[in-house]
A and B are shown apart, each in its own frame.
Chain A
Amino acid sequence: MSTRTTKEEAARPALSGGSGGVRVERLFSWWTLATGLLVLAILALILITTTKQAWPALQDMGLRFITSSTWDPNPASGNPVFGSLAFIYGTAVSSLIALLIGVPISIGIALFLTELAPRRLRGSAVMVVDMLAAIPSVVFGLWGVLVLAPLLVHVYRWVHDVFAPVPGLNSIFGEPVGTGRSFMTAGVILAIMIIPIVTSISREVLSTVPQANKDAAFALGATQWEMITGAVFPHSFGGLVGAVMLGLGRAMGETIAVSLVIGGATNITPNVFAGGNSMAAVIVQQFGESTGTFTAALIGLGVVLFAMTVVINLAARLVVRRAEIRVRGAAT
């Protein structure tokens, strides 16, 4: 719609009759502006207050807060050390595994629903996927700890045995921890949790591809897969990246489910079958008994997580912008 000034609106009579038209229009634009600013204000407020509360610990540790891998609130001697590198690593690894497993599945489901499925199947398939999103995350955590982790130990042992002689891969698929609670299990649970989000948004995005583009691909003699890679993906690349970013945001912030299945160990290792810890999980585990600088350090972890999410989102936007310029000649 073209933008209209309030004067123009005052000149024309409202469709629904009566003179409330102009007031309503003004109120509406006011309201949307206010809510938009409110969201920004809340974001800024959260950032400022958490940084202020975390300041004692950040000041104490300086840059070591994000570069040190030692997290020792009660050392035998000396001052407490709060280095969050191990938890940044844990968050990154579990989220990465979740993306590697979850995104191909989600986009596959979305493609199936938009391109290949008979129309009658679509409604029920969408409903089932959305139901996955309705399961509370603590239920995922419980299921993971009681059912999945003990089962996966056997899978991990087998994979470890298979890759043991291969140099390089044998350090990624190293000795599995006895309980099964590891980066990998956390990644699997997170993948299951992000599938509904990524699927539903991808589906929306993929359904907006103009039929003309697809027809053109077919007209040039493309097979279905070639049509998808040639006409569907380039058009919807930005939206798909947006969907993946939303899934990643959920994976990085997921607290309870991860804290139950990731193993609770401060650990930096390429071995995905080893236990570790993530930032959100550490905060929820140790916040209750913390005092003073320890509490400040935990809030600092929250700030780091926030900053990490923002950085990744900005990077994603950059990627999308570049891709869209390439595909369409201009960014939307």
Chain B
Amino acid sequence: MPAREVGELGRGGLGGGGEPDGTRVSESVHRLFILRVVVGHLSSVASARFKQETMETEKRGKSEVNRKMLSRLVFVGVALAVLAGCGGGNNDNGASSGGGTEGGSGQLKASGASFPDAYYQEVISAYKEKAPDVTVTYNAVGSGTGKKEFGAGLTDFAGTDSTVKPGDGPEEGTFLYVPTVAGPITVSYNLSGVDKLQLSPDTVANIFQAKITKWNDPAIAKDNPGASLPDKAITVAHRSDGSGTTNNFTKYLAAAAPSTWKLGSGDTVAWPSSTQGAEKNTGVAQIIKQTDGGIGYVDFSDAVETKLNLAAVKNKDGQYVAPSLEGATAAVAGATVKDDLTYDPLNASGADAYPITAPTYLLLKTKYDADKATLVKDYVRYLLTDGQPIAKDVNFAALPSGLQQKALAQLDKVAS
């Protein structure tokens, strides 16, 4: 039968290619009609076949159909019973372990800042060893979304780099700040032939505002006496997504270089048009790594992972300090802690302080129901005690003991 021809028609279309031939038109029209008849015939054959099958089933008798239906119903019923039993069993377990701490079971959902994500994930895996029945999940969706989800009650606690402002989500008075770690924000660069670089806040501000466009600019040379800087264009990298890291970096520039920095501060600012944006700290790090002459702000953890060159920044006391965990701890120690435990280590005083140190907090509700409160408190207590030494491994600075005590005291304020 013309199966092959049908296939050809499908692929080649009508009269495609070939020599002009008067008979071809009628030939292809003829084929088209045959095709329709063939298709129609085939479909009616198929439907007749189907009818035959159903008639045969009817002939075999209703008993067979009934038996099939019954067995299916029984199967579904058994499956449902098993599931209900399992669910009921779980509920019982949950209620009975309400008062337990170690070996307690349950789920904690959290989301928020991506800045401390590496640290939080390490703490979660370490906590899993201690309390295997508790599942903690942390989604690094960004401080803004984290606050929104926390305010809407979708998460049990949230991670945020920035404090809660009206309109962010959580209601005033319904949450507590718990500081967890601090991390330096580095000014990373990639310049062949230049291994050490030190920059003052005004120079940093002008570089990121695209007022300084070449590496051998006199302002950079003044900060680096004796260094040989190439005549290369500066490629500035920043975050294209809204970010707490941007927020802290721009807040630092507004505080440390108030007369030079004109772009304001926030999760997103209007960077100059000659700069390049990328998603997340890792995206910015990638731009810097790939571009000779690139500079950008990247959190310490990612900068060390990507093996970027880190610039030393002049702090409030006039010392050039390279980003390090010791510098971050010194900055946190030198910062004033407010009553609600928010503090600002940016541009902190202290000879060893690294001036671009960013705080990060967990937002906890002031009141949870009994089971949840126990789980949350246990986890956060773990983070603030046994979890602190882990910070060093992932390039974050643990809290100084004074602040750690205050944070633990804050944790006790969580009611149940």
Residues of chain A at the chain B interface (Cβ within 8 Å): 15-16, 70-77, 86, 114-117, 119, 122-123, 145, 150, 175, 177-179, 181, 207-208, 210-212, 214-215, 218-219, 259-260, 263-269, 274-275, 277, 281, 285-286, 288-292, 294
Contacts and interface: CB of A to CB of B under 8 A. Distances in A.
A263 B276 contact: yes
Nearest to B22: A215
Interface in B241-295: 241-243, 250, 254, 261-279, 286-287, 290-294
A268 B273 CA distance: 8
A7 B350 CA distance: 94
A289 B12 contact: no
B16 A114 contact: yes
Interface size class of chain B, counting residues whose CB lies under 8 Å from the partner chain: 35 or more
A14 to B, nearest CB: 12
Given A123-B11, A150-B290, A218-B20, A291 B168 contact: yes
Contact of B240 (A70, A285, A291): A285
B193 interface: no
B374 interface: no
B267 A211 contact: no
A239 B167 CA distance: 50
A166 B291 CA distance: 28
A264 B294 contact: no
Contacts of B25: 210-212
A178 B20 contact: no
A265 B270 contact: no
B273 A267 contact: yes
A263 B278 CA distance: 7
A177 B276 contact: yes
A286 B235 contact: no
Given A122-B12, A290-B144, 16 more contacts: A16-B47, A114-B16, A177-B274, A178-B292, A178-B294, A179-B291, A181-B276, A207-B13, A210-B14, A210-B15, A215-B21, A219-B20, A259-B240, A264-B238, A274-B274, A277-B240
A264 B145 contact: no
A77 B25 CA distance: 75
23 contacts: A15-B44, A70-B270, A71-B270, A74-B250, A75-B264, A76-B261, A115-B16, A119-B16, A119-B17, A178-B291, A178-B292, A208-B14, A214-B20, A215-B21, A264-B240, A265-B273, A265-B276, A275-B273, A281-B240, A289-B145, A289-B241, A289-B242, A294-B268
Contact of A289 (B144, B235, B264, B287): B144
Given A218-B20, A285-B241, A114 B13 contact: yes
Interface of B: 8, 11-17, 20-22, 24-25, 28, 44, 47, 141-145, 148, 167-168, 233, 235, 237-238, 240-243, 250, 254, 261-279, 286-287, 290-294
Contacts of A266: 270-271, 273
Nearest to A126: B11
A122 B235 contact: no
B24 to A, nearest CB: 6
A288 B241 contact: yes
Nearest to B287: A179
B264 A178 contact: no
A265 B274 CA distance: 7
B292 A264 contact: no
Given A179-B287, A211-B15, A288 B271 contact: no
Residue among A76, A219, A259, A290 having the largest count of chain B Cβ atoms under 10 Å: A76
Contacts of A286: 240-242, 268
B16 A207 contact: yes
A17 to B, nearest CB: 9
Contact of A288 (B20, B142, B292): B142
Residue among A75, A264, A274, A277 having the largest count of chain B Cβ atoms under 10 Å: A264
A297 to B, nearest CB: 11
